[in-house]
Amino acid sequence: METYNRDRHLHGVEEYEEQIHSTTGRDFSIGLAIGLIVGTVGGLFLAPKSGDALRDDISGTTNKLTETFNAKQGEGSDDESLKEKAEQKTEELRSKIEEKKDDMVVKKSEHEEKQRIKDIDEKEIQAQKRAIQDDVADDGTEDPRKVDMSKYSEQPDEEK
């Protein structure tokens, strides 16, 4: 028989309350971080600087970031090299497309040939069936598919 354990019950309640407090703390921390980010961005746009000065600061920062990004990629800062890379990639894609197209043409022709052979085989089988039925058909039978096998049975050696 199971008895009520007061300590186990209280222990479960304490863990539940602790979980509620930790969740509330985590939610508060996430909300605080989001609020700081939104406040910083809003403060930049509501600063007492003129719009031109703020745009110059933002464009200068973005220009610096793009220059460092392009410098890390090597020759990525030249427009000509970007065009050459783009042309090279398009040529690679075109060659891959042509290869796939050729493969599909070959597969299609193989499939058509298999279908043609299958059709020929079926026609030959039907022709052979008709020929066999015509050869086997007796004048006295109504159905050419029925054959009187009595005339083909083995005859005793005495009759030979």
Task: Quote the pLDDT of residue 91.
Answer: 92
Average pLDDT (121-140) is 75
CA angle 31–37–41, rounded 5-degree value: 145
Among residues of the chain, what percentage have pLDDT more than 70? 64
d(CA 137, CA 130): 10
What is the domain partition of the chain in residue ranges? 80-116
The structure tokens listed for 153 are 């049975």
Task: Quote the pLDDT of residue 70.
Answer: 79
Average pLDDT (136-150) is 62
DSSP string, 51-97: HHHHHHHHHHHHHHHHHHHHHHTSGGG-HHHHHHHHHHHHHHHHHHH
Task: Quote the pLDDT of residue 37.
Answer: 93
Is the model's pLDDT at 39 over the cut of 50? yes
Is the model's pLDDT at 151 over the cut of 50? yes
